[in-house]
Chain A
Amino acid sequence: MSEEVAIVGIGCTGFKSITPDISYKELMFEAATRAYQDAGNINPRKDVDAFVTCAEDYWEGHSIFDEFVPDQIGAALRHLFTVSSDGMIGLATAFMLIKTGEFNTVVVEAHSKVSDVTTFTGIVNFALDPIFNRPLGGHPHYMAGLEMTRFLHETENTREQCAQVVVKNRRNALSNPYAAHGAQLTVEDVLQSEPYFQPLNRLDISPVADGGIVMVLASEKAAKKLTDKPVWIRGIGWNSDTSWPESREWGRAMYTELAAQMAYKMAGIRNPKKDVCFAEIDDSFSYKELQHLEALKLCSNDEAGKLTEEGETEIYGDLPVNASGGIQGIGYAIEASGLHRVLETVLQLRGEAGKHQICDAKTGVAQIWRGVPTATGAVAVLSREVK
């Protein structure tokens, strides 16, 4: 008999465009300290069965970054490992560990110290295929420009509606103390910002941010001892479409459609539009929020832009999307981006989201994409109710 899995503790440093006063170790230590206290003041030296950390070497400037993780999160001479992926796939890994029945309490860590990197685009570029794509040269975000053109071509969503996503999310971020990039903008501001990869403009592309997150997951039995406000992982899914950009759909986010299918099936959700109250999803490029909303089946195809324009995805709307400010408003936090979507979903479900709290949030969806040039994403369905 297997147990359900809950998130019983969250810790976050908040996000800033730069954190020059602390090292990445000190950043992680802060997030860990907060998470363990939130999880009923557990002692990671004794009370945690496994630790999952999420990082990629070139973001950190260290080959085998795994080496530099254990001490500051309480995992020295303990069962820690790295998943080279977004924190949400780390969450899925922790979920699987607990489901095996061999682990009761598992910690997930993800962070961004992206301000330590002085060649951000050089590193994104180094992820392109060295044979077919990289030799073309240029700024790698042209891949997103290609995708946006096709997305707008295939659907009835408009350029202006994409800009509205940015306006909404950066405004929402003003209500979120964690967010680094809150702003009052207009659709015109976005449309008139410099063209970068047309139709993508400068303000369609999320700015980056530093921050650390640690989460504590527990089995049903352990969760009840640690907290009176568990948030249950009802379903989780992750998926990778072909690694060849040339073979992708471009207009559709297949990775999210398939990850959502997996997560919804696990959660027993047949009608996401009805069963999901709100969503925290990847909006790292403006159009991505619309593309992902449709892939998540939270609206019909061609409808995401219209809903956005009509205000339905605002905090007070029928389907609040990125009430936290999303990646546009909080900042792109590399591998912590997905775990932060989860964290904001947990805050909403606990009723602790403060000024951006959504009324009566029962079930939420968190989703992430790993960014250019990947076709990998993850989806989590979270709920206040265990079943």
Chain B
Amino acid sequence: MTLEKINDPREIRQWPGHMETDYIYTLGVAGERFFQEIKKNGKIMGAKCKRCGIVYVPPRMYCERCFEKLGEWVNVGNKGTVFTYTVAHIDLNGAKLKEPTIYAMIKIDGADGGLVHKLGEIEPEKVRIGMRVEAVFKPKDKREGSINDIRYFKRVK
């Protein structure tokens, strides 16, 4: 314990600072391929481990379970199932959103994983686990190689 303490609230002071700068991330060996396919062809691709039989979406360059290098790419299609979801009402700063955002973990057909993304064209109350959904892509000329090239997933009619 320090022998001296602050008793006078006017002595309390804060010193400001930050750790903010820009970052540029490369998408990696697997990420580059995955996002090029989305950007150019509007396709969701998985990477298959021949040893474990797992089809990874998002794809990896290696199997996290057995460390095989993954070379086999599989077109898993753009459809899947809502595995879980949540309705967010506040933004990053804690302010109330005008329209809530629906986030979901979507199990992609033919893959062992899926994507964490948003749901669109649906009211929050109508979302159910197990609901069939498909990816809605931005128009090709607006796509830039990002997870946001998929605008959201919508219910399969």
Which residues of A are in contact with B by a Cβ distance under 8 Å? 20-22, 26, 29-30, 33-34, 57-58, 61, 63, 116, 121-122, 125, 130-133, 135-140, 142-143, 145-150, 153, 194-200, 242, 244-247, 250-251
Contacts and interface: CB of A to CB of B under 8 A. Distances in A.
14 contacts: A21-B5, A34-B1, A61-B19, A122-B92, A142-B86, A146-B103, A146-B105, A146-B116, A147-B84, A148-B86, A197-B89, A198-B88, A242-B64, A246-B113
B58 A135 contact: no
Interface residues of B, number: 48
B64 A149 contact: no
A247 B2 contact: no
Contacts of A30: 1-2
A200 B103 CA distance: 13
Given A61-B17, A131-B28, A136-B147, A149 B84 contact: yes
Contact of B116 (A33, A58, A63, A133): A133
Contacts of A199: 86
B88 A250 contact: no
A198 B116 CA distance: 16
B84 A146 contact: yes
Contact of A20 (B2, B14, B17, B124): B14
B17 A138 contact: no
Interface string B80-107: 0001111111111110000001011100
Contacts of A250: 83-84, 105
A29 B86 CA distance: 42
Contacts of A194: 89
Contacts of B5: 21-22
Given A121-B93, A198-B88, A250-B105, 4 more contacts: A121-B94, A122-B92, A146-B85, A146-B103
B116 A247 contact: no
A246 B116 CA distance: 6
A244 B84 CA distance: 16
